[in-house]
Structure 1
């Protein structure tokens, strides 16, 4: 493991717009690497970039929070994660975690854990008491969530397709932020 330092920051709508091409590259790389993050292997960079840019209004309105991690020395994008707080009156105490991605070159540096920690700290400051997420059953992400204190609820068969279109079960997790 190298001594690469990373900076994890919450991004503004303007920063998201400026980073859309880099984030698109990370998303395409993640999907091509086989991760089930909601896209099929036919994902093109232009489509990926448009998807990121479509999130800008939600970030600007506070309906979505996005973090990025950058390799400090190079300023290169290394990872990202998202938090979408519930907007219904009966759900304003909870949020959904999505699109945790770490560039293959940056895996093994505990970067995913740092991204999650930043998200959890912000969620708690925001008054959220409960976070939920889903991930492909048996994936490395599933082991990460278990190792970082998330509680497994169960799995749903054939919930999502991997990038090749093959259906897989998905494990649902939650984490209470009440200390």
Structure 2
């Protein structure tokens, strides 16, 4: 039987259930993730989701293993620009970022702050460090990769194959400006 984990927004209104293990767990340092996190942190009551060295910790989960138990009506999308291929989705009940979805992706990148700290999955690498002007402030506790690797994409492909090449749609109730 597949293990189930429940996580949720800061106020507890929006709750998700995850089945099984994540595809991978990482910290992203791309310009897009850092810019979006900065803008979302400016929303009323929102907290900064970046680490001290400006990384966005997240775990990739297959869409078919995620279920919203409550609060789905609070979900709104944010895009860095109108034509952006990725969207960040927040729970507007408390302005908690919930996930990042890439256009056409079969997975969601769930932000690690949704887990209680003691149960939070541990990142195994940092990616997109090539977007940083200076990497000297990054900890040496895990690999600091300049870009996504072949192994990164191989894990995503293996998950898609296991899903039968399906791509479930995640619908939200509008947009948020940040």
TM-score of the two chains, using structure 2 as the length reference: 0.25
**Which has a greater percent of strand?**
1
Which structure ranks higher in relative contact order (CA pairs < 8 Å, sequence separation ≥ 6)?
2
**Which has a greater percent of helix?**
1
